[in-house]
Structure 1
Amino acid sequence: MKEKIFIIILAFLSAIAPLATDMYLPALSAVQQSFNTSEFYTQLSIASFFIAFAFGQLIYGPLSDVYGRKLPIIAGMLIFIISSFLCFLVDNIYTFIALRFLQAFGGCAGVVIARAIVSDCFDKQKAIEVFSLMMICSSVAPMISPSIGGMLLKYFSWQSIFVTLFIVGIVLLLLCIFYIKESNNDRIKFSFFNIYQAYKVTMSRAGFLVYVVCSSLVMSSMFAYIAGSSFVFVDVFGVSSQTYALIFGANSLGFMIAARLNIYFTNKFGVDKIVFMGFVIMLINSILLIIFSNNFYTFTAFLFFTLCMLGFITPNLVTKAMGKAKQYSGSASAVLGSFQFIFAGFATFLVGFMDANTSFKLACIISGFCVFASLTYIIRTNIVKMIKK
């Protein structure tokens, strides 16, 4: 029972980023009006969050290798709680942007250290199960967060969103204090050289960067889908908002089922076979998605199967990457998280920059990330096999 609670806490810590970003999205116009500012500064409050979340992980990762997992995670959650509360009180857009930066800087501690704790506490197969659960929570969060934010806006002001995040932060902090035990029993001494060495050793491990880049690329395909699918389905294919919500929910459900089935299949066939087959199927579906992108039914079907493959690929790649640097799992998690967030931000930017207002354009962007990831992994795997022979 204690282990289940422990895993659930880690899963919720991993979902704090989409919760803090997507709950806030419905409030953008209300924030703009409240501060009497331009759309640029309102959007800057989102950009500052992403920047802090991507690069803050690079700080917390090595700190958790030096000072242990529990102290940095508590410090990060305190920063998240305080900045969330101040976001509720602030009356200046510039201060608000700075506080959003601090909120992300605090919140990213839970995400990056949760992965390190999994690497510390569980063997390879159990880690796959935990990472799969964390992926499920991370995929559910962006699906329900806008609805929660919209509901709060319906009955309260936009500040209620940050009051909610403040309460969530307190709950997570208390859970971390009472249920998370220190798991880093092999700490390194603090020095800039040791931190540099931790990153150097981690990134030089054979295969580590391949797993990191491939997992970041496939996650980018999901973020590109989230950023552009609403316009394509509603404005291009002409479906209703309710139908789009059902499609979005079905894709999320498919991803969650795949992540759950991944636990069973990796037990039966092994991690390497499942990842390889996942990439092969993703590669085929990605190509078919582009070819048949102009038809609603084929576009929807191939998109569904492409996204489902993420549930078989991402948890396993995260496990394989983290397993490459057990000694410096905090630093490894930091590199992994930063890459994923930077790639995801680029994918979201690319959808806007390319003006992906047709199913063909969106299919090309989604498939581009998937094809690049699949070919990178498949080619690299075959080269390694040839070298071993």
Structure 2
Amino acid sequence: MSGTHSETDFSQRWILLLALLTALGPLSIDMYLPALPQMAEDFQVSTQQVANSLPAYFLGLAIGQLIYGPVSDRIGRKKPLYFGLILYVVASFLCIFADNEWSLIAARVLQALGGCVGVVIARAAIRDRLSMQASAHAFASMMIVTTIAPIIAPTLGAWVLSVFEWQFIFALLMLVGVICLVCVHFFFQETLAVERRLNLSFKQVLYLYAAILQDETFRKPMFAGSFSGAVLFCYISASSAILMDDYGLSQQHFAYVFGGNAVGIMLFATINKKLATRLDVRHRLQIGNVLQLCGVLILLGAGIFNQSSIAVVMFGMFLCVAAIGFTGPNAMALAMSEQGARAGTASAIMGSAQFTCGLLGGVLLNFLLWSVLTNMAIIMLVCVLIAMFTIRSLKAPIIAK
């Protein structure tokens, strides 16, 4: 884990550490979802008002990544990790003592601003060390590990609520933040050598953002990955209303379905890795896009005809979500392949774009006039078609490596 650039191998222990840092996001998003009704009762507001802390977290993720990216390109990868994780721990502590929805929302924004450092640095560190093909392999390995978080998070939250109050969930998240901080201190070595760092002013950062966005080798894979990822955020925003309100699943059964779809991401990411020696990165990205399209069409048909069984809807959701195991790592590898020393800033832009697309998709669900299932399927279809158009426009030199 020195400053060596474009190696072709990596240790599983290193990937586990990066995956732990990245897992802060899904843990913080999913673990407290079963507690929303209890929190609403304590705050004497509606569940939807408390649920606004979820888009507040997405907002913090989108903003924070734009800050950590250029900062890490200037001062290295490890120091921002210290700052972000300390902020995450403090914000989690504040969540424990939130006494109304507004103090919770404010604390959640701070929590996201701290926790998002992990995903930015993880992406940049992989690009610091590995070639494009090795990066795609590493991103797929990391996705397999990080997928465990959304598998266990809702169930773990439900178990906690069976014994403790909702505040204990944020105490657990604070503990995870402390563990990450300790692991970074003892096991994370700097990956960006001093001679490769960028000496950037605020004005230069803005120019750097503009330069990266003008780079077609980054911009097109970024759009493909962001709109493919928006499908997942639409699912997160709407699945509880569809499966619990419309189809009557219990909280525990909903947690099992949620976890099962996360297992699908892990399964498809594993298949993606196995295909690395047979298909290039772009073709594997196309496979994921086609799988998502199939899932969306199933959901759209179910929403239009309104007579489909829950099994059909769950299968459509599974394809849409599990295909992230193909689209996520391959779009990331393509986007980061030419970024070099500015990988931190590029990683930040891509992460921010993903959460912005997801946030917009979640907001649009409130404005369409059909059923929740139909609304979700329509937004997903638009996202998948934009991703498909972008993938088809990728030129061969972008993927040749």
Q: Distance in 2 between matches of 1:155 and 1:280?
A: 43
- Give unpaired runs (5+ residues) of structure 1: none
Change (3 A) 1:15 1:302: same
Aligned to 1:226: 236
Aligned to 1:317: 331
Q: Distance in 2 between matches of 1:125 and 1:276?
A: 16
Change (3 A) 1:356 1:331: farther
Instruction: Tell me how far 1:34 sits from its aligned partner.
Output: 3.5
Aligned to 2:71: 63
Which stretch of structure 1 is more off in the superposition, 69-78 or 279-288? Answer: 279-288
TM-score normalised over the length of structure 1 = 0.88
Aligned match for 1:189, one of 191, 199, 217: 199
Aligned to 2:3: none
Q: Distance in 2 between matches of 1:199 and 1:229?
A: 34
Correspondences of 1:84-233 after superposition (within 5 Å): 84-91=92-99, 94-185=102-193, 186-233=196-243
Q: Distance in 1 between matches of 2:101 and 2:294?
A: 47
Aligned match for 1:51, one of 45, 51, 59: 59
Residues 19 and 145 in structure 1, CA contact (< 8 A), matched pair in contact too: yes
Change (3 A) 1:292 1:29: closer
Q: Distance in 1 between matches of 2:250 and 2:96?
A: 35
Which stretch of structure 1 is more off in the superposition, 245-254 or 331-340? Answer: 245-254
Partner-residue secondary structure (3-state), 1:21: helix
Q: Name the aligned partner's letter for residue 363 of structure 1.
A: A
Change (3 A) 1:106 1:244: closer
Q: Distance in 2 between matches of 1:347 and 1:246?
A: 24
Q: Distance in 1 between matches of 2:244 and 2:103?
A: 36
Instruction: Tell me how far 1:320 sits from its aligned partner.
Output: 0.7
RMSD across aligned C-alpha pairs, in angstroms? 2.8
Count the aligned residue pairs.
384
Residues 68 and 117 in structure 2, CA contact (< 8 A), matched pair in contact too: yes
Q: Distance in 2 between matches of 1:264 and 1:38?
A: 47
Change (3 A) 1:211 1:136: same
Identity %: 33
Aligned to 1:345: 359
Residues 289 and 367 in structure 1, CA contact (< 8 A), matched pair in contact too: no
Instruction: Tell me how far 1:45 sits from its aligned partner.
Output: 3.4
Q: Distance in 1 between matches of 2:141 and 2:333?
A: 13
Instruction: Tell me how far 1:156 sits from its aligned partner.
Output: 1.3
Q: Name the aligned partner's letter for residue 161 of structure 1.
A: I
Q: Distance in 2 between matches of 1:48 and 1:362?
A: 20
Partner-residue secondary structure (3-state), 2:94: helix
Q: Name the aligned partner's letter for residue 364 of structure 2.
A: L
Q: Distance in 2 between matches of 1:300 and 1:40?
A: 24
Q: Distance in 1 between matches of 2:181 and 2:52?
A: 28
Q: Distance in 1 between matches of 2:178 and 2:350?
A: 27
Q: Distance in 2 between matches of 1:134 and 1:355?
A: 39
Aligned to 2:32: 24
Q: Distance in 1 between matches of 2:14 and 2:367?
A: 41
- Give unpaired runs (5+ residues) of structure 2: 1-9
Partner-residue secondary structure (3-state), 2:365: helix
Q: Name the aligned partner's letter for residue 222 of structure 1.
A: L
Change (3 A) 1:92 1:233: closer
Instruction: Tell me how far 1:197 sits from its aligned partner.
Output: 3.2
Change (3 A) 1:48 1:242: closer
Aligned to 1:83: 91
Which stretch of structure 1 is more off in the superposition, 166-175 or 265-274? Answer: 265-274
Aligned match for 2:21, one of 13, 18, 35: 13
Q: Name the aligned partner's letter for residue 189 of structure 1.
A: N
Q: Distance in 2 between matches of 1:36 and 1:299?
A: 34
Aligned match for 1:73, one of 78, 81, 104: 81
Q: Name the aligned partner's letter for residue 12 of structure 1.
A: L
TM-score normalised over the length of structure 2 = 0.86
Aligned match for 1:332, one of 333, 336, 346: 346
